[in-house]
């Protein structure tokens, strides 16, 4: 049991952790992140944080989910709508209506887009934009600074390239065509009806399994979950069509009490988060270590990592 703490740190993200002494080895991705200087972290604007409070669980524990909304140039029309829906209180008292294993958790109006619907839909507020399918992608994205983006892994099955952008998001694209955000675990998208419908932003989902990249360019991605993912991913799976909760199990729908933009919350301290700058040397080391694990548990470094296997580190900024 000696050196328990060292052993655990070296084994972060390895199955079958043990409490024995770790062999001498290179730092793990988590150790690299923990050693990054404060200057390598970038605070996320409070206007880009969507704070969703679920009803407490059966034991009375609070369940807060925090979503980071995606910055320009992606999906800004839908992000506009989502902020409007949050400010108007429209999301309050909706519910989680669908949990499909290895796919998505979906929340919204339980009577919209739901094969198990039994009532009338909730009227949407005025002022929502109607978006075009062309907005699922952007023109070739050369980063906010015009700098060449870092490339992590030369091969992507779904695009000519896949990169972590300088603003910290997984994106993919074609050589000379277009760019788009990528459906990784925890990314948040906009439910929609059949084309040409593009969704308003009232119906949202997050990925709870292997990256369903077939959805890229087919749905608007608007953000990612940065805290409280476990409150959604561990919900009981629905037994109805497509993982919707069936009529006989409607009481499994988790109520959503309130959804607000963090800057509108009257809380002290306000929720605050920061991400590891993807332009930093620390991030470069972290990504390399994700692609080639040389910490104690590993024998064969993989030689690469797919875009969804390099999650951008995000952490809470402690309050006063």
Q: List the interface residues with a second copy, window 18-47 (CB under 8 A).
A: 18-20, 22-23
The sign of the dihedral angle between the CA atoms of 289, 294, 299, 300 is positive
**Residue 17 in contact with a second copy, rule: CB under 8 A:** yes
Complex with a second copy: residue 62 or 193, whichever CB lies closer: 193
**Residue 107 neighbours by CB under 8 Å, 6+ apart:** 94, 95, 96, 97, 98, 203, 204, 205, 256
Contact positions with a second copy (CB under 8 A) in 71-130:
99, 101-104, 106, 113-115, 117
Kindly state whether residue 236 participates in binding a second copy, applying the rule CB under 8 A. Answer: yes
Nearest to 239 by CA among 129, 100, 38, 136: 100
Count of residues that bind a second copy according to CB under 8 A: 79
> Is residue 234 part of the contact set for a second copy (CB under 8 A)?
yes
Give the angle subtended at the CA of 58 by the CAs of 52 and 63, to the nearest 5°: 20
- Does the footprint of a second copy cover residue 210 (CB under 8 A)? yes
Q: Could you list the beta-strand ranges (E) of 88-234.
A: 95-99, 104-108, 161-164, 170-173, 179-181, 187-190, 204-207, 221-227
* C-beta closer to a second copy: residue 133 or 274: 133
Q: Write out the H or E segment, with its range, that includes residue 232.
A: helix 229-233
**199 lines the binding site for a second copy (CB under 8 A):** yes
- Name which of 13, 80, 65, 74 is nearest 229 in CA terms: 65
Nearer to a second copy, 40 or 273 (CB): 273
Q: Work out which of 195, 251, 266, 320 binds a second copy, going by CB under 8 A.
A: 195
Q: Which of residues 256-285 bind a second copy (CB under 8 A)?
A: none
Is residue 13 within the footprint of a second copy (CB under 8 A)? yes
With respect to a second copy, which residue has the nearer C-beta, 40 or 113? 113
Query: In this chain, which of 50, 69, 164, 308 binds a second copy, going by CB under 8 A?
Result: 308
155 binds a second copy (CB under 8 A): yes
Choose between 39 and 118: whose C-beta lies nearer to a second copy. 118
Whole-number Å distance between alpha carbons of 272 and 315: 9
Measured distance CA(262)–CA(53) in Å, rounded: 12
218 binds a second copy (CB under 8 A): yes
Count Cα atoms within 13 angstroms, Cβ side, for 183: 24
Q: Does 2 bind a second copy (CB under 8 A)?
A: no
Q: Could you give the 3-state DSSP secondary structure of residue 68? A: strand
Q: Looking at 60, 157, 268, 269, which residue binds a second copy (CB under 8 A)?
A: 157
- Judged by CB under 8 A, which of 214, 251, 318, 320 binds a second copy? 214
279 vs 306 by CB, closer to a second copy: 306
């Amino acid at each position: 049991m000696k050196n328990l703490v060292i052993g655990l740190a070296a084994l972060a993200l390895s199955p079958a952790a043990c409490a024995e002494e770790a062999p001498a080895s290179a730092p793990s991705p988590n150790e690299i992140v923990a050693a990054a200087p404060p200057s390598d972290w970038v605070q996320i604007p409070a206007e880009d944080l969507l704070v969703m409070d679920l009803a407490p669980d059966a034991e009375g524990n609070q369940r807060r989910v925090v979503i980071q909304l995606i910055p320009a140039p992606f999906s800004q029309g839908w992000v506009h709508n989502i902020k409007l829906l949050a400010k108007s209180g429209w999301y309050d008292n909706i519910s989680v209506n669908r949990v499909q294993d290895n796919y998505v958790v979906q929340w919204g109006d339980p009577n919209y887009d739901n094969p198990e619907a039994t009532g009338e839909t909730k009227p949407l507020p005025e002022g929502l934009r109607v978006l075009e399918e062309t907005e699922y992608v952007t023109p070739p994205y050369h980063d906010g600074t015009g700098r060449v983006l870092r490339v992590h892994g030369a091969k992507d099955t779904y695009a000519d390239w896949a990169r972590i952008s300088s603003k910290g998001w997984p994106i993919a694209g074609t050589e000379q065509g277009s760019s788009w955000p990528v459906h990784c675990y925890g990314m948040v998208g906009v439910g929609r009806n059949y084309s040409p419908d593009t969704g308003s932003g009232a119906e949202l989902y997050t990925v709870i399994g292997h990256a369903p990249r077939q959805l890229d360019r087919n749905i608007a991605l608007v953000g990612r979950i940065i805290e409280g993912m476990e409150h959604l991913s561990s919900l009981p799976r629905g037994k109805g069509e497509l993982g919707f909760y069936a009529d006989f199990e409607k009481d499994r729908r988790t109520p959503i009490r309130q959804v607000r933009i963090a800057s509108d919350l009257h809380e002290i301290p306000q929720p605050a988060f920061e991400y590891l700058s993807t332009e930093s040397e620390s991030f470069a080391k972290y990504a390399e270590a994700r692609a080639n694990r040389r910490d104690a548990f590993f024998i064969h470094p993989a030689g690469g990592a797919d875009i969804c296997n390099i999650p951008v580190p995000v952490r809470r900024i402690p309050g006063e």
